Amino acid sequence: MNAHQSIRPFLEWLDRTGDLLRVPDTVDPFHEVSACLSLADRGPALLFEAVAGSPLRIAGNLLAGRERIAAALGIAPAEISERILRSIREPIWPVSATHRAVQAVVERDAPLAALPVPTFFEREERPYITAGVILARDPETGRGNASFARVGLLDGRTALVGIAPNHHLALFARRAAARGRPLDIAVVLGAHPAIQLAACLYLGVGDDELECAGSLLGAPVELIDALTVDLRVPAGAEIVLEGRIDANVSVPEGFISEYHGMYENYGPGVFATFSAMTRREDAILQVIEPGYHREHIYLGALPIAAGLLHGIAKVVPNVRDVAVTEAGAGRTDVVVQLDAPRPGQARRAIHAAFAAVSLVKRVTVVDVDIDPWDPVMVDWARMNRMKLERDLMLFPHSGTDRSEPMEEGGLVTKAGLDATAKPSDRAEGIERALPPAAALASARERLRACMPRVPAWLSA
Ligand SMILES: Cc1cc2nc3c(=O)[nH]c(=O)nc-3n(C[C@H](O)[C@H](O)[C@H](O)COP(=O)(O)O)c2cc1C
């Protein structure tokens, strides 16, 4: 009932298409759930039907790739960037819900103890909520914000939240602390994938991601009042944790996994106290395998790619697509596709990409005949269309984020690679050696006639 703004419709779709593996045996949230998700990284979504010490089920590895995220939005992978851009240009305001599914069960005494939160990696010191979209409001303006941040459990009521200092949630917490107050938060688990994707958008301070989520959903997000904090929360989610964070109180965190797949030691996290856990009757706890894993990578990558497309198009209008690669964990390595670039435009696109997102460390520019999401073809262009002494540019001492593995004092050397074809580079020209177009067309028909269904490699 009222499940259309939770992860349930997508889980059902995965089940129907054979992309959901149900695990009936009892699994332990301590390392075992994480080990299963880690192994299934390129495999199906997992639904753990029996979890040690808890009546709740756990689901993970859901939005692990472009195809899955596109399917969750009901569109094709090639449409994602345009759709995300439209959600920023044409946001849809949330509305009041007519149901309170996420508040069917309420736990106030030990809100965190009621959840089977996994411990993921060997050197991490505690269980982490990794799929929590944290809602908060700017203490200065009242405007909302939604973003992912890890919540590390300390006991049944308290936790630490690990937030990069430049993220808006950290800014709001500091603004509240400056007024001598903690900041109300709601950690939302298992909301519709559109809400999760929107939470990864890089918008201006005061631009509320829930309005973009409505646009991505094609319908307003349905909200209800939280029970113990001054926030409105998605009525259709699986679980909501209500609490407060205090930027004046910090807790040592120790080693944590980062998107590049290694550990980081950022120092202290922000202290949080939780006053209530509300959930659906038969709630499913969504978890995202953190670190260098596909769900973590692609949820971040697609909003970054759309943002870069938007930023680059302002100065290089013939940009066609932007990919943020899996090798760069969906954050640091970017491929820009230009249509018939004029001399100098590739370099301009490289500068624009660096200017738009500080995390970006390498930008490769390719022509329209190269699919930027295909790493082998992008590498082919690098190998065959570049004169390194001319087309490889290094930018030493460039500003970056604390998460960059090679940063020193906030700086790293960045690289731009112009892998577009320059016709004058080869006396023989740059034409690809292929059978004639007419021969290819008739061969396609001949092979299609031999097959029951047209496979992807045979589609035009
Ligand atoms: C699965 C997932 C987990 C994330 N975890 C964290 C985290 O623990 N801390 C953090 O600062 N950012 C984390 N992020 C990134 C932020 O959610 C993201 O950059 C967001 O756009 C920041 O929001 P803001 O622009 O409103 O500040 C995570 C992203 C994803 C997809």
Number of domains in the chain: 2
Q: What global pTM score does this model have?
A: 0.95
- Would you state the pLDDT for residue 204? 87
Regions of the chain short of the pLDDT cut 70: 1-2, 460
Domain that includes residue 336, residue range: 295-422
Tens digits of residue pLDDT in 87-146: 999 999 999 999 999 999 999 999 999 999 999 999 999 999 999 999 999 999 999 999
Domain termination residue (choose one: 244, 259, 289): 289
**130 and 249 housed in the same domain:** yes
**281 and 319 housed in the same domain:** no
228 vs 276: CA distance, rounded Å: 7
Please, are residues 28 and 36 in contact by the beta-carbon 8 Å criterion? no
In a domain, 46, yes or no: no
In a domain, 402, yes or no: yes
Q: Whose CA is nearest to atom 13 of ligand 1?
A: 149
- Would you state the pLDDT for residue 447? 95
- Would you state the pLDDT for residue 2? 67
- Would you state the pLDDT for residue 423? 86
**313 and 272 housed in the same domain:** no
211 vs 397: CA distance, rounded Å: 37
**How far apart, in Å, are the Cα atoms of 126 and each of 149, 312, 449?**
15, 41, 58
Ligand 1 contact, 196 CB (< 6 A): no
The answer for residues whose C-beta is within 8 angstroms of residue 358's C-beta and 6 or more apart is 399, 400, 401
Ligand 1 contact, 133 CB (< 6 A): no
Please, are residues 15 and 24 in contact by the beta-carbon 8 Å criterion? no
Ligand 1 contact, 116 CB (< 6 A): no
**175 and 221 housed in the same domain:** yes
Return the bridge partners of 415, or none. Answer: 362, 394
Ligand 1 contact, 145 CB (< 6 A): yes
- The DSSP result for 15-70, as a single string, is HHTT-EEEEEEEE-TBTHHHHHHHHTTTS-EEEEEEETTBSSEEEES-S-SHHHHH
The answer for residues whose C-beta is within 8 angstroms of residue 110's C-beta and 6 or more apart is 156, 157
319-324 and 284-287 as β-strands: parallel, antiparallel, unpaired? unpaired
- Would you state the pLDDT for residue 202? 87
Ligand 1: residue of 7, 167, 171, 259 to mutate (most ligand atoms within 8 A of CB) is 167
Ligand 1 atom at minimum distance from 288 CA: 1
CATH code assigned at 337: 3.40.1670.10
- Would you state the pLDDT for residue 255? 98
Which residue blocks in 290-410 are alpha helix, DSSP H? 294-313, 345-356, 375-385, 388-391
Ligand 1 atom at minimum distance from 145 CA: 26
Closest CA to 68 of 295, 261, 338: 295
Q: In the chain, what is the straight-line distance between the N-terminal and C-terminal CA atoms, in Å?
A: 43
CATH code assigned at 128: 2.30.110.10
Ligand 1 contact, 34 CB (< 6 A): no
